[in-house]
Amino acid sequence: MTTQQIPLLGEALETPITTLLKPLLGAHMPTAGGHHKAILGGTAIGCETVQIFTASPRQWRAPSISPEMAEVFRRTLAESGITKTVAHDSYLINLAAEPGSEVLTKSKAAFRAEIERAESLGVNFLVSHPGAHGGAGEDVGIARLIESLDAIHAETPGMKVRTALETTAGQGTYLGGQFEQLARIIGGVKEPKRLAVCLDTCHVFAAGYDIRTPETYAKTMHLFDEIIGLEWLQVIHANDSQKAFGSHADRHAHIGEGEIGLEAFRCLVNDPRLAGLPIIVETPESETMHEVNVQRLRELIA
């Protein structure tokens, strides 16, 4: 802000929007025909940032990215004007699985490959679910995850892409449903600067963090800042929720059409502390509704 002190969340923004830095709005885009197609498709619907899968999210093995493919992606990105890109890792990966298990062995190999593919493309952030402890308990699961991350970081020295640990709905034995868990992970790894946090609005709402009004939004973001630190928040997934508050159900809905409602997203896109961060929609019916949902967010900017 240029003419007044940054207000607290929930206070009115009196400074014209032209003097404010804004978030980068975008969507998770398909890569059929090449990773660069996500950039082209994103810019066509008004995205200022995009998220991609670097490989199938439902398979363990994936081909590496050739120098030619990476060059096309980087060139297309440079020509697009998009400044920040995000990748999401495979849904199969569980870095908190039991040591010595086939799942953990495959997860560590797959995640290392995810980092390498994201790095070759020049992607800024790799979003990853923290994994599930499978009944072994929160403390054990967090310790396993930290050990896995430390091992993978040691095997990928010098990589610039940062892993953004995603908040989860806290379903079952999944980690990431409590801000304290993410803080413990960041504080426990040997190279914390290689990590960041991705806040998913649907997930935190389902996990029991209310964001539906300016007051509850302010309280939740204060808790995030107090427990984790807003400096670690680098990616946001903007999704409404099909399910009720505290349901622990991960079911995304279109912006303003779910249990969260528009006011939360109005607070989100006008929060000056989030200026310049990628805000990504992962809503249903992507082919027809991503453009609509990105535009809904843009229209909420004061």
The DSSP result for 263-276, as a single string, is HHHHHHHT-GGGTT
Q: What's the pLDDT band for 207 if we cut at 50, 70, 90?
A: very high
- Residue 157 burial (CB count, 10 A): 7
> What residues act catalytically?
58, 88, 91, 129, 166, 200, 203, 237, 250, 252, 282
Task: Give pLDDT tens digits for 91-140.
Answer: 999 999 999 999 999 999 999 999 999 999 999 999 999 999 999 999 99
Instruction: Work out the burial of residue 40: count CB atoms within 10 Å of its CB; fewer than 13 is exposed, 13-18 middle, 19 or more buried.
Output: middle
**What are the sequence ranges of the domains in the chain?**
17-300
pLDDT at 11 over 60: no
Quick: pLDDT tens for 158-205: 999 999 999 999 999 999 999 999 999 999 999 999 999 999 999 999
Q: Helix, strand or coil for residue 238? A: coil
User: In the structure, what pLDDT confidence band is assigned to residue 8 with cuts at 50, 70 and 90?
Assistant: very low
Main-chain dihedrals φ then ψ at residue 151, nearest 5 degrees: -65, -45
pLDDT of residue 15: 38
Residue 87's closest CA among 109, 65, 108, 68? 65
Gap between the Cα atoms of 69 and 8, Å rounded: 45
CA distance 261 to 213: 9
The CATH number of the domain covering residues in 17-300: 3.20.20.150
Which residues, 6 or more positions from 105, have their beta carbon under 8 angstroms from its beta carbon?
none
Beta strands 233-237 and 125-128 are unpaired
Per-residue model confidence (pLDDT) at position 71: 98
The encoded tokens of residue 126 equal 């790799």
